[in-house]
Amino acid sequence: MSTGPNGPSTPLLAVDTGGTFTDLVLLVDGAIETLKVPSTPEDPAEAVLEGIRRMIPAGLGFRLLHGSTVATNALLERKGARVVLVTNAGFEDIIEIGRQNRPQLYALVGHRLPPLVDRDDRIGIAGRLDARGEEIAPLDSDQLSRLVDVVRNRGAESVAVALLHSYANAEHEQTVAAALAASALPVSVSSTLVPEFREYERTSTAVVNAYVAPMMDRYLGRLASEAGAERVTIMGSNGGALPVERARREPVHTVLSGPAGGVVGALTWARRAGCESVISFDMGGTSTDVSLCPGRPLRTREFAIAEQPIAIPVLDIHTVGAGGGSIARVDPGGALRVGPRSAGAAPGPICYGRGGTQVTVTDAHVWLGRLPTSGFLGGEQRLDREAIEPALATIASALGGSLDAAAEGILAVADTAMERALRVISVERGYDPIGFAVVGFGGAGALHVAELASRLGASKAIVPPDPGLLSAYGMLAAPLTKEASRTVLERAGQAGTLERIRDVLGELEAETTKAMLGEGADATTLMTERRIDARYHGQSFELSVPATDWIEDFHRSHFERYGYERRETAVEAVTLRVTITTPAPPLLRLELESATDPPPAQPIRVTFAGEGHEAILIDRQHLRSGHIVSGPAVIHEYSGTTWVPPGCQADVDAWGCLHLAFGS
């Protein structure tokens, strides 16, 4: 891929760490170079540093943009730090009580994961503010003086501070944080992370931040010191980038770091291909991430990971445990299951020859001929089809069918899980998929996207160039972003409401702009967005609307969402938000030459719907604008392989994107 002659003078290296591979995309002198190296789950920084050593010449100055799943995996695997929570006396059980939602609606005895902080590690202190931030009872100075010793005696590795109503007045929390400074432990303060009401979500966010802070500080600190980059920027969960210093302090903003890059990259390429409304479909080695983008990425604050709510703005991404490395098995009832366990990077699928012994989705593709044994990673590795047979035979025997039927069954089960995820974010939210194109990427996405788009009823599927590296590419296209918020609970129509809203928005914009400029942003490129979370007085949840004409916009949004006319109840401004962004460097891609002759192809044999088919294998670098590839066909390239099923057609556009549709 090339960006043309107008690329930035300082080389940019984007790195996305996945469960199986670590992807690197280098933009230098207007051209893009790519590399995939095996991930090192025991020390994720090692794979990143190895990739940097292989791609960056000694002494070359560059900027590093990084997306990481380290915080995500720590939460999923419960491998974070021991956290002590400091809160108000009598409210130590907030994170355990939660919202009393039932995780299994029809279970007689529901099961919930235990809180991230043990009961003995929750410290209640005297002192209280009311909902307006007025002091009801002062903090106890004796308790504050003993706080460091108490925390150390609990064996804390990190501390979270969450006091009632700190969104209205952060003074008590800041005083507690100052008292804890002598402990030399990372301290996560809820009013700094989320200055908003709803004490459970705010407390949970502070606890999650504290839980992953020590390991993220070590990990990102090592990258910052050993990568040799002039500047290190981390992909944020909201689709924007943030400086490494902030990511080390507030790692909770990185829990969807890698998947967010994929959404940005998918929408960037879809717009080049002439599509504004897309569904991103990112199938990696361990999981599949999907997101609906009706012309823009959608954000949400109703987000939880490993049953832990996180009250920060994140891209609205839905994840299922189905990936190329997902392991197939037959359960005791005789049903075929795929995932969520994954073979990961080590040992990986059987065909990789690294000691894997259990059949994965990737192995099924290799067995059926849809993933060529030669040409993997540009010829760096040859896949071993014969090694798959013994383990696949065990599954086939348990199912009472052939080897081919077992392999196709594995893909069908994986497709069903991923189709369900695509329907959750589209049909179940009232969007008709016919108006959307599904953008397939990730190491395995292009192998499944054509059939999934057809099953979903989408208009078509799109596979951008280098689909296995798209999340890293999206980091190059992501703007530098900073957001600020504050809960105000001001009712429209009351004296002083509009003035207070105006003043608070001005304060948020001033502090956010100052922070952006301090992080090196160009003042002439800053773009500001002001929004208000509003509701009818007495409602429990809010809708986000632009701040300019927020009352009328809220009435209109409420009608569109819920379908009934405006109420006479007063509209309440709950939380004010300001987002400031500065655009990413331009990534101008050169158009492909027009096709004059058919692309070179070689015959191969594939299995589809229980029958063998003669198919063609094409190297994607030989495709030109206007080429049409009719299935069955396999289009392979360095970072991924595209499967074009029988009855499907792949058209190549001027930018090199593949447009796949049935019945063309």
Instruction: Kindly list the distances between the CA atom of residue 590 and the CA atoms of 7, 173, 469, 609, 622, in Å, as whole numbers in the listed order.
Output: 12, 53, 18, 39, 16
Position 6 scores a pLDDT of 39
Residue 476 makes CB contacts below 8 A (sequence gap 6+) with 12, 14, 25, 27, 65, 584, 585, 587
Spell 461-485 as b/e; 16+ CB within 10 A means b. Answer: bbbbbbbbbbbbbbbbbbbbbbbbb
Cα dihedral across residues 529, 535, 540, 543: positive or negative: negative
Instruction: Kindly list the distances between the CA atom of residue 28 and the CA atoms of 8, 374, 634, in Å, as whole numbers in the listed order.
Output: 8, 30, 31
Closest CA to 505 of 525, 533, 479: 533
**Class of domain 480-582 as given by CATH:** alpha beta
Position 321 scores a pLDDT of 82
CB–CB of 29/45 below 8 Å?
no
Position 140 scores a pLDDT of 94
3-class secondary structure, 181? helix
- Per the DSSP assignment, residues forming a β-bridge with 89 are none
Domain 269-322+415-477 belongs in CATH node 2.60.40.10:
no
Residue 97 makes CB contacts below 8 A (sequence gap 6+) with 200
Residue numbers in the chain where pLDDT is lower than 50 = 1-8
Tokens 């996405």 belong to residue: 445
Residue 465 makes CB contacts below 8 A (sequence gap 6+) with 1, 269, 620, 637, 655, 656, 657
β-pairing, 633-636 with 611-619?
parallel
pLDDT tens digits for range 610-627: 999 999 999 999 999 999
HSE value, Cβ hemisphere, 13 Å, CA-based, for 626: 7
CATH 3.30.420.40 domain residues, the chain: 269-322+415-477
Give the length of the chain. Answer: 664
Q: What is the rounded CA–CA span in Å between residue 171 and residue 261?
A: 36
Q: What is the rounded CA–CA span in Å between residue 638 and residue 381?
A: 11
Looking at this protein, which amino acid is placed at residue 159?
V
pLDDT tens digits for range 74-132: 887 788 999 999 999 999 999 999 887 777 778 887 788 899 999 999 999 999 999 98
CATH 3.30.1490 domain residues, the chain: 480-582
β-pairing, 187-189 with 318-320?
unpaired
For 486, other C-beta atoms within 10 Å of its C-beta total 18
Closest CA to 338 of 303, 362, 373, 305: 362
pLDDT tens digits for range 491-546: 998 999 999 999 999 999 999 999 888 877 888 999 999 999 999 998 988 999 99
The structure tokens listed for 446 are 């292009």
